[in-house]
Structure 1
Amino acid sequence: MSSISPEAIATVADLAGKSRVAARELALLSRARKDEVLRALADALDAATERIATANAEDLQRGRDGGMPASLQDRLSLTPARIAAIADAVRDIAALPDPVGEIVRGSTLANGLQIRQVRVPMGVVGMIYEARPNVTVDAAGLGLKSGNAVILRGGSAAASSNRVLVAVMRESLAAQGINPDAIGLLDGGGHDAVRALMTARGLVDLLIPRGGADLINSVVLNSTVPVIETGIGNCHVYVDAAADLDKALAITINSKTHRPSVCNAAESLLVHDKVAGDFLPKALTELAGAGVVLHTDERASAIADVAGVPFAIATDEDFATEFHGLEMSVGVVDSLDAALDHVRAFGSGHTEAIVTEDRAAARRWTAEVDAAAVMVNASTRFTDGGEFGFGAEIGISTQKLHARGPMALPELTTTKWIVEGDGHVRA
């Protein structure tokens, strides 16, 4: 990594220093106080809907002028309904149990020492993310509830939206007597500012990247701050020989088209050869009718051709691609083993779904698929903190240490050991 400008280092150090002061104050707040602050923050977002939508319109116009793909414009867009949903997600966070202070385990030793492991805030959490302004609020809300200060670095595509969202939230905190530096925005400074944040070890306790593979890999490889890796979502739906084909069709369509730009949308469809002839003509027709561009292997292509559905011959690159839009790779497999092998070769460890009425096949799928979430007879779209009952999520981790899958409040805490004695000394 090339050298980082002194200006960027100084900017991040100043921001992180203020955040650390705010984090110490947040750690002392009761659950009741944090919940009160969050509810007021949600009300402030609702009241600022027009202000937020106006800023978002500026971002969308810049995106259109710059040729931003429609799928990314969808991720960027903040309609009044989406702003209301974001505010409601903050209220949901307020209603969740507070993990801070939870005793993970504890005991009294034979010598009388009392020990307990207790959840405590991380401290200062940095977020680096792309054109998803809802992440700005989700991260801030989860940070406040878990007693952490957050430093937010959103993508330039959402710059206007993020500035207004952070300004509204900081104004709400200040009005309630809470240190507004609990929510910080690293604005401007280009790549130097991002690199300064990634190397602010000792000032920032944890870094979470959210976005495409290039962003995530860059943070994981170059950060000296501990990182929780949120992975890309090359998710599969596998229709087994024993599938209920009506369920399979509904799950396939929902997994792909419900919101194709997000990481839990299905990118690949695998169908057992025994049911491909019955299932694929209707499935491919409905997918194509929904605007999905199909990349099909040889056997799926033959079925698409007979059904009169447009297709392109799929390559390994297609099967490895997270499309982020209305495109899907489709393959026919000879067995459950072949489906498992395909997922091992091309899956990203995010979400993998099987549709089957065969309990033995379902057990093998859940045991052998190595992913953060494994679905049986359910859409991949359910891999989501809100759908799991966690409230807003800060990301979906595909790594195996500390956190895996949708990350919410407990994943934003660490633990400390508290040991109480009565003059105990070690012999």
Structure 2
Amino acid sequence: MSADLAQLVTSIAQRARAASLVLATTPPEQKNVALTRLAELIESSHETILAANVKDLAAAESNGLAKAQIERLTLNPARLAQLATSVREVVALPDPVGELLDETTRPNGLRIRRIRVPIGVIGIIYEARPNVTIDCAILCLKSGNAAILRGGKEIFHTNTAFAALITQALEHAGIPGDAVQLIPTTDRAALNTLLKLDQYVHCIIPRGGESLIRFVAENATVPVIKHYNGICFVYLDKAADAELAEKITVNAKASRVSVCNAAEQLLVHREAAEKLLPRVARALLAKNVQLRCDAASAAILEREKIALTPAVDADYRTEFLDYIIAIRVVDSLETAIATINRDSSAHSEAIVTADEKAARRFQAGVDSAAVFWNASTRFNDGFEFGFGAEIGISTDRLHARGPMGLRELCSYKFLVDGTGQVRG
């Protein structure tokens, strides 16, 4: 690795740390001015952003990226409008910095308050996800954190265009431009340097494929918040309504197959399989979803002359990110819970049932970041949860779990007021 590249990344981190100390005490109104300006710039810069995105898409096609990956790279006016909306959603949210979490007065008169504070400098490592540049920038800014963004080569031109708008918005509000910085190279050596800068960077959040996330987790000396993949389940209980079962399963699987909250696995209670499976299978096939079935589900579908592919063991623990779903028949609710806890990635799971007792047992027993009753797994998303946007979805237990919004980008500190107390 060249000394110049290491020095460049180190300088970015040093400047981010300095900016984070300014941001920590920047008034909410000033941060909101920057965010509002960014929303306006996104709306007025469609031509520039889409031109940059076209360059990335052309390179993606020539490099043979899969259709689902290219779909994730693609921006259009509707998606840009949604980005601008997400910025304004964050403007409207309460500022978390300084929020009083609890307060007590000790017998010796010490007054102890615990307040929410920014983490400091957050590095975000991501691949072919153009929305991440905006989502992470706005959430870090609102929560008082400086952000260092390192996007993948697949989306470099789009990220650069977005970064220029972010800098303009920060400067418009009188906030240091170093508060959000994009590493201006996709050289892996730059990433290696960033992962070791624990003197300046307080947290790394990787977003992308499992190989990227494992590389970051295994090589960083900076704390990492992560999820490796999204092996998400839908379970159709014996008391599931057939119409709901079809609607929720199809949405969870096929509304957008390339995202981490898409369903990859379908479990069906044996007592309802004859009734539910053919209907749900036909609806999935209508969306061009390939069905990979265990012996029990295959027997049911074959009698109905429904096209399927026999599953292999690996299919039951795979994040397909494609028009593929693995199907199994289970004997009971408890078997479904045990299967999910063994084979899922603890990301997003759903039960479809009219039996509230079964639903509550499922929600209590499944050890995942988000567990849904009669709703699609696709709702495990910061925007859908009312966070305005998200910086990622964590399947860790520490320090955050599920969609990470403003509060999850904060730590806390204690403020202790005395009147001259000393400890004996």
Q: Note whether the superposition's TM-score is higher than 0.5.
A: yes
Q: 1:122 aligns with which of 115, 119, 122?
A: 119
Identity of aligned residues (%): 46
- How far the C-alpha of 1:376 sits from its partner, in A, is 0.9
**Alignment of 1:312 onto 2:309:** yes
Matches within 5 A, 1:273-422: 273-422=270-419
State the distance in 2 between where 1:252 and 1:189 align.
38
Query: How many angstroms does 1:136 deviate by?
Result: 0.4
Q: Which residue of 2 aligns with 1:28?
A: 25
- After superposition, give the CA deviation of every residue in 1:213-268 in whole Å (9 maximum; x if it has no partner): 11111111111001111341100000011111111111101111111111111001
The corresponding residue for 2:157 is 160
Q: Deviations over 1:367-413 (max 9, x none)?
A: 11110001111111111111111110000100101100010001111
Given candidates 198, 202, 217, the residue that maps to 1:201 is 198
Equivalence for 1:84 = 81
> In the alignment, is the contact (CA less than 8 A) between 2:52 and 2:161 conserved in 1?
yes
Q: Secondary structure at the match of 1:418?
A: strand
Matched residue count: 424
Q: Structure 1 residues 410 and 120 mapped into 2: Cα distance closer, same or farther (>3 Å)?
A: same
User: How is 1:9-24 mapped onto 2 (pairs within 5 angstroms)?
Assistant: 9-24=6-21
Residue segments in structure 2 that go unaligned for 5+ positions in a row:
none
Look up the match of 1:238.
235
Helix, strand or coil: the match of 1:384?
Answer: coil
Check whether the contact 2:151–2:186 (CA below 8 A) recurs between aligned residues. Answer: no
Structure 1 counterpart of 2:98, one-letter code: G
> Please, what TM-score do these two structures have when normalized by structure 1?
0.97
Aligned to 2:169: 172
For 1:174 and 1:96, the matched residues in 2 are separated by: 22
- The one-letter code sitting in structure 2 at the alignment partner of 1:191 is R
AA paired with 1:308? K
Q: Given residue 388 of structure 2, which amino acid in structure 1 is its aligned partner?
A: G
User: Residues 317-359 of structure 1, C-alpha deviation per residue, up to 9 Å, x if partnerless?
Assistant: 1111111121111111111122122212210000111111222
Conserved? CA contact 1:231–1:350, under 8 Å:
no
1:112 aligns to what? 109
Partner Cα distance (2:304, 2:68) in 1: 28
* Cα offset, 1:189, TM superposition: 5.1
CA deviation after TM superposition for structure 1 residue 46, in Å = 1.0
Q: Contact conserved, 1:208 with 1:230, CA < 8 A, in 2?
A: no
AA in 2 matched with 1:72: Q
How many angstroms does 1:108 deviate by?
A: 1.4
Distance 1:277 1:111 in 2: 69
Structure 2 residue aligned with 1:218: 215
Q: Distance in 1 between matches of 2:383 and 2:172?
A: 29
Is 1:45–1:169's contact at 8 Å kept on the other side of the alignment? no
Alignment of 1:426 with 2:418, yes or no, is: no
Which of the numbers 257, 260, 263 marks the counterpart of 1:263? 260
The residue type paired with residue 379 of structure 2 is: F
Contact kept? 2:348, 2:380, Cα under 8 Å:
yes
* Counterpart Cα distance in 2 of 1:230 and 1:121: 22
TM-score between both structures, scaled by the size of structure 2: 0.98
Q: Match for 1:359: what amino acid?
A: E
Contact 1:12–1:200 at 8 Å: present in 2 too? no
Give the distance between the partners of 1:288 and 1:203, measured in 2 at CA. Answer: 51
Counterparts of 2:308 and 2:192, CA distance in 1: 42
In structure 1, runs of 5+ residues without a counterpart are: none
Q: Which moved more, 1:8-17 or 1:142-151?
A: 8-17
| Structural mapping, 1:145-156, within 5 Å | 145-156=142-153
CA distance in structure 2 between the partners assigned to 1:183 and 1:45 by the alignment: 16
**Once the 2 structures are TM-superposed, how far is the Cα of residue 176 of structure 1 from its aligned partner?**
2.9
Counterpart residue type for residue 418 of structure 2 = G
Q: Deviations over 1:16-68 (max 9, x none)?
A: 11111211111121111111211111111111111001100111111111111
**Counterpart for residue 44 of structure 2:** 47
* Aligned counterparts of 2:277 and 2:40: Cα–Cα separation in 1: 48
C-alpha distance in structure 2 between counterparts of 1:7 and 1:372, whole Å: 41
8 Å contact kept, 2:35–2:169: no
Distance in 2 (alpha carbons) for counterparts of 1:329 and 1:189: 35
**What is the SS of the residue equivalent to 1:98?**
coil
Aligned to 1:100: 97
> Does the Cα contact within 8 Å between 1:351 and 1:372 map onto a contact in 2?
yes
2:405 and 2:228 map into 1 onto residues whose CA distance is 16
CA distance in 2, matches of 1:359, 1:230: 30
Deviation at 1:9, TM superposition (A): 2.3
Q: Given the alignment, which residue of 48, 55, 60 partners 1:58?
A: 55
Paired residues of 1:285 and 1:307 also in contact (CA < 8 A): no
SS in 2 for 1:322: coil
2 CA distance for matches of 1:380 and 1:269? 12
